[in-house]
Every structure is written in structure tokens, then in C-alpha cells.
Copies of this chain bind each other. A is one copy, B any other.
Amino acid sequence: MVQKQEYLSKNQKIVLDHVEKANQPLKAYSILFNVQKKGLKAPLQVYRALDKLVEIGKIHKIESRNTFVACKNSNCVVSNATAFSICESCEKVTEINNSKLSKYLSNFEDNSGMKYSKYNLEFFGLCKKCKNK
């Protein structure tokens, strides 16, 4: 039996490293531009690395913005329960780490007969700074 991957490949490391240093969500093509000096030449190389990193929870995708951000929440072993706050003015994004919220959503059930294995929640508003402008 082939084991589940436990290490990161070369391209995955390069992309993760760049996204982690950014400390804010990045667009795929901005990542591409910035890692070209490291040898990644084509969009697919970035997207493939991102796909894997998202799958294993090192990176999350901000769906409403098509951006990618490093996970700040050490418990996100996989990207199956994510919540973000997004400022609609400055686009600052913060990963929400709130155990009550995650418990509530992970246990959520409705009458559809569907058992949810994953969720993504995006809150929008104005951050402190932008509110006081």
C-alpha cells in the first residue's frame, strides 16, 4: 500500500513558503509571478501546488475573492471547517478561530437528510481601521 504523502514536494514548498510569508491572501497569478525566480514557469505548476496545499489544509482558498491564504489555525489539519472575516473596504482577511462557532457548524444538521463533512464560511464587514475612517 502506498502511504499518504507526508512531506511537501519542491513546488509545494516554494508556493507554501511564499504564501506564508505574505501574511495575506494572494492571487494565483501573483504567486506565479513571484515564484518565477524559483523556477515555476507555468500557471499549472502553481495551481497544482495550491490544490495539494488546500487539500492538506496548509492553505485555504477565499472563495469570494479567488485568493489563497496560509492557514493560521494549527488545528486545520484538513480544509474541512473554515471561517474567515473579510473587510469589504481594505480586503483584509482573517481566519476565525472560534471553537464555539466551529462546534456549532460541524454539528449542524437540517432536515435535508444530508450529513455535512465540510463547510466554508465567509463573513463580510468593515474592519476596525476602515470603520473609523
Residues of chain A whose beta carbon lies under 8 Å from any beta carbon of chain B: 63-64, 85, 87-88, 94, 96, 98, 101, 104-105, 108, 110, 112-128, 131
Contact = CB atoms under 8 A, between A and B. Distances in A.
Given A85-B112, A94-B112, A98-B110, A123 B128 contact: no
Copies of this chain assembled into the complex: 2
A125 B120 contact: no
A16 B109 CA distance: 30
Contacts of A115: 125-126, 131
A2 to B, nearest CB: 24
A125 B56 CA distance: 18
A110 B122 contact: no
Contact of A124 (B87, B118, B123, B127): B118
